[in-house]
């Protein structure tokens, strides 16, 4: 269903040199080499103000619905109808040191949220936002070391997390172990549910489910998500690449474009992070093999393209904004030099438009047709943060300021 797939007809190097030239022309004057402490504090406060603008707006106009529609100023239930934005924001409140709102949020969620509802929800979104939000808030609220411990807290969010995860489990009952994309929280998988899911959908579950297993001593959660990763990896191509969409019954790839962005991205992210969090070397081994293949077949320094997973032939010479997490992942993997070059290239796209469009065509150096939007993606700034942590190069901080 992809409209007019663009192809880079000439040599990829020619296409890329056009992009590099464009970057050279875009590069502005050199920036100074540091920020003063007061400048850093001002930037920090600006970030806080932005957060509260969004969070207070949500609480005032949309809560307890999932999301705020910023133009009509109305709420809507876009996911499952379980106060998504509040649950998703709890760890940010703790990070900002806002004990009052964090405690109030945890208490409200513990008293009011229920998952025995007739709603069909995305397994992926429910995992990363709701299960992840509940578990991080639980860990923060239970631990003196966070400074956010709530004395009256009694594991309510952990109980909710267990209940929710159990309602997601029916999705994993497939021949490949790769879960359906959606599941009904009350009735299990709908009869007419699609058997096609994305690689990210099946590979972005192991952190939350693994933490839940360790907190409860119930191994089932960790087991099903590891099984899903194995199900995907067992169907990799001879080049050690994975495609974008797969049939969870037959294991056939229905979309064979290998890339690090759309539909695949966090499969790679969770492999490495699952190893870092749990010390499980199976995840490290798979990550290393998968990473080598990406750097061999997809990396056209400093960009990443999409290729056919079997032949390695270029299909999409595109930057897509979801790829922007990759330099941050490389920092975690200890591969900082290519991360710096790629981050600079991705950031040149940001500078050109004031944000990263969903798709940027590397062959023409223009926004890809139909991919002009910017749905507030955090990937580029997250990579910037990790790079700054690794290099302490303050130019990263300057890069973040939009003039």
Ligand X SMILES: *[C@@H]1O[C@H](CO)[C@@H](O)[C@H](O)[C@H]1NC(C)=O
Neighbours of 192 (CB within 10 A): 5
Catalytic residue among 125, 155, 193, 382: 125
Return the number of the residue (33 or 116) whose C-beta is nearest ligand X. Answer: 116
Quick one: how many helices (H) and strands (E) in the chain?
16, 15
Question: Considering only residues 92, 142, 166, 216, which one is a binding residue for ligand X as defined by CB under 6 A?
Answer: 216
> Which residues contact residue 258 at a Cβ distance below 8 angstroms, ignoring those fewer than 6 apart?
237, 239, 241, 242, 243, 244, 264, 297, 298, 306, 307, 308, 309
> Please, what is the minimum distance in Å from the beta carbon of residue 118 to ligand X?
4
Contact of 256 with 309, CB cutoff 8 Å: yes
Q: State how far the Cα of 160 lies from the Cα of 115, in Å rounded to an integer.
A: 8
Q: Is 146 in the site for ligand X (CB under 6 A)?
A: no
Return the number of the residue (191 or 337) whose C-beta is nearest ligand X. Answer: 191
Task: For residue 394, give the DSSP letter.
Answer: T
Task: For residue 368, give the DSSP letter.
Answer: P
281 noted as active-site residue:
no
Q: Is 310 in the site for ligand X (CB under 6 A)?
A: no
Return the number of the residue (142 or 216) whose C-beta is nearest ligand X. Answer: 216
Return the number of the residue (170 or 338) whose C-beta is nearest ligand X. Answer: 170
Contact of 368 with 361, CB cutoff 8 Å: yes
Catalytic residue among 67, 208, 265, 306: 265
> Which residues contact residue 210 at a Cβ distance below 8 angstroms, ignoring those fewer than 6 apart?
221, 222, 225, 226, 274, 277, 278
Q: Is 217 in the site for ligand X (CB under 6 A)?
A: yes
H or E, element range at 316: strand 314-316
208 noted as active-site residue:
no
Question: Considering only residues 118, 151, 375, 376, which one is a binding residue for ligand X as defined by CB under 6 A?
Answer: 118
Return the number of the residue (72 or 118) whose C-beta is nearest ligand X. Answer: 118
76 noted as active-site residue:
no
Place of tokens 């990829």: 12
> Please, what is the minimum distance in Å from the beta carbon of residue 185 to ligand X?
10
Which positions are catalytic? 125, 265, 358, 379
Q: Which residues of the shown chain bind ligand X in the complex (CB under 6 A)?
A: 118, 216-217
């Amino acid at each position: 269903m992809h409209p007019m797939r663009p192809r880079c007809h000439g040599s990829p190097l020619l296409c890329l040199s056009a992009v590099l030239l464009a970057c050279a022309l875009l590069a502005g004057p050199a920036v100074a080499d540091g920020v003063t402490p007061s400048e850093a504090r001002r930037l920090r406060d600006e970030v806080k103000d932005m957060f509260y603008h969004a969070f207070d707006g949500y609480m005032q106009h949309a809560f307890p619905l999932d999301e705020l529609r910023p133009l009509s100023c109305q709420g809507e239930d876009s996911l499952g109808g379980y106060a998504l934005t509040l649950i998703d924001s709890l760890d940010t409140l703790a990070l900002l040191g806002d004990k009052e709102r964090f405690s109030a949020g945890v208490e409200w969620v513990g008293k009011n949220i229920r998952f025995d509802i007739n709603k069909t929800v995305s397994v992926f979104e429910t995992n990363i936002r709701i299960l992840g939000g509940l578990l991080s808030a639980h860990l923060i609220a239970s631990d003196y070391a966070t400074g956010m411990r709530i004395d009256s807290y009694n594991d309510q969010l952990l109980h909710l997390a267990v209940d929710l995860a159990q309602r997601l489990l029916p999705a994993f009952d497939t021949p490949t172990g790769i879960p359906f994309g959606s599941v009904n929280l009350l009735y299990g998988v709908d009869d007419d549910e699609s058997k096609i899911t994305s690689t990210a959908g099946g590979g972005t579950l192991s952190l939350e489910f693994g933490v839940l297993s360790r907190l409860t001593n119930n191994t089932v959660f960790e087991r099903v998500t590891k099984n899903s990763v194995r199900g995907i990896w067992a169907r990799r191509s001879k080049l050690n690449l994975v495609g974008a969409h797969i049939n969870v019954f037959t294991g056939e790839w229905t979309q064979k474009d290998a890339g690090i962005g759309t539909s695949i991205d966090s499969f790679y992210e969770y492999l490495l992070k699952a190893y870092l969090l749990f010390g499980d070397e199976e995840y490290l081994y798979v990550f290393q093999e998968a990473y080598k293949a990406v750097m061999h077949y997809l990396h056209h320094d400093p960009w990443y393209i999409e290729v056919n997973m079997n032949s390695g032939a270029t299909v999409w010479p595109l930057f897509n904004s979801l790829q922007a997490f990759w330099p941050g992942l490389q920092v975690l993997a200890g591969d900082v030099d290519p991360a710096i070059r790629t981050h600079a290239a991705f950031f040149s796209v940001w500078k050109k438009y004031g944000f990263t469009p969903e798709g940027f065509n590397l062959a023409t150096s223009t926004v890809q047709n139909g991919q002009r939007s910017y749905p507030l993606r955090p990937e580029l700034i997250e990579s910037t943060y990790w790079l700054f942590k690794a290099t302490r190069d303050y130019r990263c901080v300057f890069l973040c300021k939009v003039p």
